[in-house]
Amino acid sequence: MDQPSTKDADYVLDQQVGFIMRQANQRHLAIFARHVPDLTPMQFAALAQLCALGRVSQNALGRATAMDAATIKGVIDRLRRKGYVASAPDPDDQRRVHLTATPDGLAAFRTLTPRAHGTTAETLAPLSDAEQADFLRLLSKLI
């Protein structure tokens, strides 16, 4: 009654969470691409987790970065092509492929990390510090 905007009959796209979230994401991806032209956000995320975790299998890295098996495969293929990731068979489990960051990959990660942080900062820049904390807290509750 008191919420005319949720009447079933009309659908105001600009008021739907999904639509606004998608646009916020688009903006963030554009900011990231400007700060870190070398790697996509997904490639950087995979590289970062690989550097943090040391040796992991491909699927495990996928889980650590919220990518499914099919998606992480493509990301790793591209990181390997760039020379940032190396793979070797796992002696203990013959299904697995162990991934490691190459020295180049580690160097790239170290160089790009400040820029990635800059990305986060610029994305959140329209909000005050207090608002940023609020936003992140609420956003985290949605996953």
Partner DNA sequence: GCAATCTTGTTAGTATACAAACGGATTTTG
Partner DNA sequence: CAAAATCCGTTTGTATACTAACAAGATTGC
Q: What is the 3-state secondary structure (H, E, C) of 67-79?
A: CCHHHHHHHHHHH
Q: Which does 19 bind (CB under 5 to 8 A by kind): DNA, its own copies, none?
A: its own copies
Query: Is 117 a binder of its own copies (CB under 8 A)?
Result: yes
Q: Which does 80 bind (CB under 5 to 8 A by kind): DNA, its own copies, none?
A: none
Angstrom distance (rounded) from CA 110 to CA 123:
21
- The reply to whether 127 sits near its own copies by the rule CB under 8 A is yes
Q: Give one word for 99, left, alpha or beta, with left for phi > 0 and alpha for psi -120 to 50.
A: beta
Mark 7-26 with x for binding to DNA (rule: CB under 7 A) and - for no binding.
---------------x---x
**Concatenated DSSP letters of 10-51:** ---GGG-HHHHHHHHHHHHHHHHHHH-SSS-HHHHHHHHHHH
Backbone angles phi, psi at 99, to 5 degrees: -110, 145
The residue ranges that bind its own copies (CB under 8 A) are 6, 8-11, 13, 15-29, 32, 41, 45, 48-49, 52, 64-66, 109-110, 113-114, 116-117, 119-120, 123-124, 126-127, 131, 134-136, 138-143
The residue ranges that bind DNA (CB under 7 A) are 22, 26, 29-30, 40-43, 57-60, 66-71, 73-75, 78, 90, 92-97
